[in-house]
Each structure stands twice: as structure tokens, then as C-alpha cells.
Structure 1
Amino acid sequence: MDDIRKRLEQIDRELAGPDVGGRLAGSSPLVLPAVGLIAGIILAKRTSVPLWVWLGVCGAAAVAAGAVFIAQRRSPRPLILACIAGIGFAGLGAVRHLSHQQPPGTDISRLVGDRPMPVSIRGLVITEPRINRYPNWAFSRFKPTSPPASCYLAVTEIEGRDGWASVAGVVRVQMSQAALDVRAGDRIQTYCILGRFSPPGNPGQFDTAAYMARRGVYVAASIDSADGIE
């Protein structure tokens, strides 16, 4: 009787067919992984979950998928495997996003801590200096010094205790006085203050650090005087 009942239950399940989730997983198995990948990128962007947590999610999802596949070898359930794959791809999306946000090993930002540091650097000016003339400031014409300026510098060397060392990366240079003889394509040496971009101080404030990181720039250089540029 038990065998007959099991066969009847199996026939009922086959006649009923899979549920909506099962049909979706069977006909479009990549939907949940794609949704998980997008969700992982969004979560990594909007939260501060560390990289090792997302790596753990990927590992746990891989182990769970293997265990479910072995346990359900005779009667597989695509929906369960698709859900696990979605979780795993969420971890992969987060890892991909966080890895992309990390500077390379030779980037100059690896040498900069939380506190600004005075240092001499050499590099190639890759953008024309942008001069901020403040045309709407009524007293700008009475300012005795030249207006401030900014540009981007592809750093090639940094001076340390043992002399000059090779580095890489792009630095946003802020000059309190514009160096009128500096142009894109010039190789310069300057004494500056290197520091990281400050995070937003208020909710909804523009996140300069995140914006610059998406452009591959992680630190800024501040130059007090144009005389410090050679």
C-alpha cells in the first residue's frame, strides 16, 4: 500500500506541474542570478559591509548549492538552486564592485593614511589647469594674489627617506595660486600636502570621495604657492 500511495502522490505532483517559481526557474534559470548580481552591486554601493563578508556569502552559496545538488540528484528542484545561485551572484556582484573601488597595489593612495602628509612628488599634468576666477564675487578684483586653480596629475615618483621611489595613480591637485606657466603635458615636481577626500558631513550631501573613486582618483594634493612647482 505504501508503494501504491507513493506512486499516486508522484502522479499527482506530475499532473499538477511545478509552481510559478519552479516554472520560472526551469524556463529562465538566469533570472534570479541576474537579479542577485544587480542587488549585490547596489548593496555594496549603499552599505559599508566589508569585502570578507561578501566573500563568505559566495563561499556559503557554493557549498549550499553543492549540498542541495547532491541531496536532490534524483528529484531536483530548480527553484531552490536558482535562489542559492541568486544569493551567490549577489555576493559576486558586491565583490566585483568593491574590488573595482580598490586602488591598485602601486597606487599612491596606498601610502596615504587618514591624516594629510607633506611630501614631494613628480608626475605628468594630464589636464589643463582650471582657474577659478569667481566672477560673481564683488571683491575678487581686490585680491592681491592670482586665483586658485586645479588639475589632475599622473604621479610617477614620490620622495621618501631613501630617495625617490616609483609610484602610480592620479592625484587631483588644488593650487591656492594658479601657476600660469603649467600646461597639460608638462612634467612637474612639487611639494604638497597629500590627503584623502573627506566623506560627506550631512545626509544627502555630495560624496566627493565616492565620485572621485569612480574616476580612479583616491587622494588630493594641496599646493600653497605656485613657487612650489618646478
Structure 2
Amino acid sequence: MFTPLERPALIVVTSCMLLALASAAALAILKRRRGDNRRGRFLGGLVLILAVGAGVLRHQAAVAKPPNHVAHLLADEPLLTRLVGDLESTPTVTPDERRNPFIPFDPPARTQFIIAARELRTTSPPTPVCGRIRVTVRDEGLVLRLGERVQLTGRLYRPAPPRNPGEFDWARWNYLQGIEAAMVVEGAEHVRRMPVEPSWPARGFAGARLYALLLLLGSYGDEPPDAAGRLLDTLVLGQRTAADRELNEAFLRAGGLHFLAVSGFNIAVLAGASCWVMRGVLRRSARATAAVTLGAVVIYGTVAEPNAPIVRAMVLGVLVALSGLTRRLATIWNGLAASALCVLLVNPLELFRSGFQLSFVQVMALILLVGRAMAPNPTRFFERPREEEAGSWRAFIRMKLWREAVGLVVLSVIAWAVATPLVLFHYGRLAPWGFIGSLLLTIPVVLITWLGVLTIIMQALCQPAAGLVSMPLQWLTSGVLWAVHCFANLARPGVVELAKPPFVLVFGTYGLLGAAVAISGR
């Protein structure tokens, strides 16, 4: 174990390592172009060593706890205390639900959020503290904003590991998010808003999200339907916490939970729509298309909740758009590596989270496998149709739709099959009909995303005309909710509980798949 470094020294050392890494990479590129392979190999090894050193330093900074960390206050029993912190997540409300039938009363509703601790108020004067805390307030109706500073009085405790075999390890789940303490507040009267304004980035992000939500749900009136509003907030605006337990369970049984788990799919749909409008409809240049796509990706990444898949897709989309602006060839693997580097620099523990692993594994599998599955073959079954081969525009359109339908089937099956080992490893669950639910929901979800974004734009520019888009959006959203519940009831068992496979088996499965792809590519 390394000795924890102070924050200023750590910043300086990490900056020097990254600067040396960039310099060595530039020298390696120059030497390789001049044909000096020996020096290029030496500098390549130096780049690798510096990268490992920078990664070790960044990981140490993430796991090392300074003396004033809240984790040092935790004991075997909950500690009654008073803390001041800033909200780092949007508060979510869980309604009262009696899971244990032997409890003679209904449990109260809960409001949950994450704070960054700032002060310990049980001492005089207050003691500065740090660390992230997951807070549960046994009440609802709290009016709190992202970035706002609050004072909480409650019981501070350490998240407990699983007590029985097969239970989910919430302690590790919190640890991978940088949360090593939790707090229970008994009521809203113990939550006090402090007269400190949030920082301007927090105010800007929260204001942008609220404004976009008001525009999206403006056609519903003052009281939008709960389920439809939550679904639109999740699919269109990327607010994963807006989906409650009922909505999550319905999409899980239908095999479409990945649509709620905001990821690169949302950004890909938005970027694809921007390119189609600019190039296919307005006939603009490649640079203009790249500029509009870049703006759309950045705006959506600002409004959506930050997570590893969103950051990955945003970085990848920005790099592809910048390559279009500079008229350079976009390299998907370099963009994927750069997005992974950005995510891990922010939080190295993301490497061990299911969202990060599923996101990158599925994207790599789609890049490697979908193209091979759709490649030309002797039967000409998958070949791209040409106008001269079709004989007429009607036959051409029919062939084009057939190819796209086959591509959607291939994509759904590959994504489901590649994700299954990791889903079993992390959650011990299998959705046997997951690829069918994904196949049936893809087109409606894409249409909801497009119509939702169009509704926001029209509500902002021309509110009377927004009804032409918002009404079909409402009908489609209600239809998707109905279809999800119907499919979840028909396709039983929707989810099968299985024993979690060992890590060696999962790693070996992906290793064999990678070896098969490498051999087939020769």
C-alpha cells in the first residue's frame, strides 16, 4: 500500500506524469514516421510505463482517505451527528411500500440523494470534513436542488455487507461510487437549507435540466401522468433516477431495461438524427453537419445525468464530430480508448462497476461482430441493395427495409448474447427473451427520443405548433408503457434467478470470443 499523498503534491505529480506521457507519445510518433523502429519501441515502452504510473497515482488518490474523511467517524453502531454538505445528485422519492407482510404498519416514503460533506456541526467551531454520503430522509416533499447546501441531523453509519448468501452487496456498490458512509434522517424537519448559493456550474446544469423538463412535459398540463412523465424524463432527458421501481421492473421483465439505463444509445440516436436532418434533408456540408452534431451531443451530455456510458458516448461523439470539422478520418478505436481514459481519470473505480464494463464490452462487440455478421456472402442475403439491382424505387425501398430489419435483429441478438455473462456475474439474473423485447422496443424508443427532442425545440420556438408533435408523443409513450406491461406478462419467466458464475469463467468466455474474432479476421 502506498503512502497517501497530499492533494497539492498529487496534482503536481500527476500533471508531470501526464505531460511526460504526452511528450513521449509525440516523440514516438515522430520517430516512427522517420523509420527509427528501435527508438520508437523504446519510446513506446516509456509511454506504457508512464501510463501505468499515472494510473497508479490516480487510483491511489481515489482510494486514499485524508484524516478528515467521514469514514474515520464511523463505528460499529450508528452515530447521531449533524453534518453540512452539498447535494451531488437529484433527490429521488420512493413511495411507501410494504415489502414485509408481517409489519403491522406502512413504512413512510423516502427521499434519497448524495451529498459531499463539508462540515461537522457537533463541534465548536465546526470541523471541516470531506467524503460522499448517501442520505435517506424518511419523508417526502423536500424542495432541494442539485448543488444546494443543506444541514442534516441524523444517524451516520457504515453500509453493511450482505448477511446471507445471494444477497446484493450494497456496501461494495456504494464503495465503487466513492461512498463509504450513509445517513438516515428521520424527517423533513431535520433537513435545513443553508443560505449558500450553489456554484454557477451546478446552477447552470440544474436550470438547464429543469427548463428542458418543463418544455418536454408542457403539453401535459399542470399534472402530467406519473408513469408517462417518468418514462419521458428517462428516455429523452437521460434522467435515470426518474424511473421508479415499478417502471424498472416492467422494463426488466420485458428485456428492455438497457433503454432506461441511460447510455450511448440515446446520444447515438440524437447524433444520427442530427446527421440525417443536416445531410439528408437540408443538404448541408460535412462541416456544418459535424458542427450541429457536436452541439447536440454536448447539450445532451450537459442535460443528462453523468455516468460512465454517457461520458463514453459523449467523448466518442465529440471526437467524431471534431474529425468531421477538421476533415480527418475518424478512428473509432482511438475514440473509444480516449473515452475510457476520461472516465477512469475522473473515477478509477468505474473500471469495476457493471455499467462501465457492460457499456464498453457491448460497444466493442458491436464494432467487431455486427460488421462481420452483415458482410457480403455467397447467398447475397445480406448485401446492400442497389437501385439498378432492384429494378424500381418500390423494390429498392422494400429491399432497403429488409436489410435494416435484418441488421436490427443481428444487433439485438449480439448485444444480448455479449452482455449475458456480465449480467449473470454482477446480478445473477438472466432474461431469456431479452433480445426479443429489445428488438420490439428499439423502434418505438427511437421515435420517442426523436419526438421528445422535437417537442422541446418546438415548445421553445413556437409553442402553438408544438401540439402537432406532443400529441403523437403522448400516444406513443402510452403505447410503449402498455406494450411493456403486456410483454412482461406474456413472456414468463421474464427474468430467471441463477447462481453467479465465477470470474474466471466469465473472463474465459470473453477471451474465447476475442480469440475467435482474431482468428476469423486473419
TM-score by length of 1: 0.51
Q: How has the CA–CA distance of structure 1 residues 209 and 136 changed in structure 2, closer, same or farther, with 3 Å as cutoff?
A: closer
Aligned twin of 1:15: none
The verdict on how the C-alpha distance between 1:219 and 1:158 changes in structure 2, with shifts beyond 3 A counting, is same
Q: 1:172 maps to which residue?
A: 134
- Structure 2 residue runs of 5 or longer lacking an equivalent are 3-57, 100-104, 193-522
Which residue among 52, 68, 73 is the counterpart of 1:106?
Answer: 68
Matching of residues 138-177 of structure 1 within 5 Å: 147-177=109-139
Higher strand residue share? 1
Task: Give 1:97 deviation, angstroms.
Answer: 8.1
Distance of 2:106 and 2:160 partners within structure 1: 29
What secondary structure does 1:200 align onto? Answer: coil
Report the aligned-residue RMSD: 3.2
The answer (yes or no) to whether the contact 1:101–1:213 under 8 Å persists in 2 is no
Partner SS for 1:121: strand
Report if aligned partners of 1:123, 1:189 keep a CA contact under 8 Å in 2.
yes
CA contact (8 A) 1:103 1:218 kept: no
Residue 127 of structure 1 aligns to a residue in which SS? coil
Runs of 4+ in 1 over 4 A off after TM superposition: 96-102, 134-137, 143-146
Q: How does 1:57-136 map to 2 (within 5 A)?
A: 101-133=63-95
Return the offset for 1:182: 1.5
Amino acid in the other structure paired with 1:162 = S
Q: Within 5 A, what are the aligned runs for 1:175-190? A: 175-190=137-152
Which residue number in structure 1 is paired with residue 153 of structure 2?
191
Q: Shift of the alpha carbon at 1:100?
A: 5.5
> Percentage identity across aligned positions?
24
Distance 1:103 1:126, change over 3 A: same
Distance in 2 of aligned mates of 1:98 and 1:113: 24
Q: Distance in 2 between matches of 1:100 and 1:144?
A: 40
Aligned mates of 1:149, 1:117 — CA distance in 2: 20
Amino acid at match of 1:147: A
Residue number in structure 1 paired with 2:175: 213
* Equivalent pairs, count: 136
1:206 is displaced (CA, Å) by 0.9
Bigger drift between 156-165 and 216-225 goes to 156-165
Give the secondary-structure state (helix, strand or coil) at the position aligned to 1:163: coil
Cα distance change, pair 200–119 in 1 and its aligned pair in 2 (3 A): same
Larger Rg: 1
**2:289 aligns to what?**
none
Q: SS in structure 1 opposite 2:71?
A: helix
Scaled by the length of structure 2, the TM-score of the pair is: 0.23
**Which one has a larger percent helix, Structure 1 or Structure 2?**
2
Query: How far apart are residue 114 of structure 1 and its match?
Result: 1.8
Q: CA deviation at 1:180?
A: 2.2
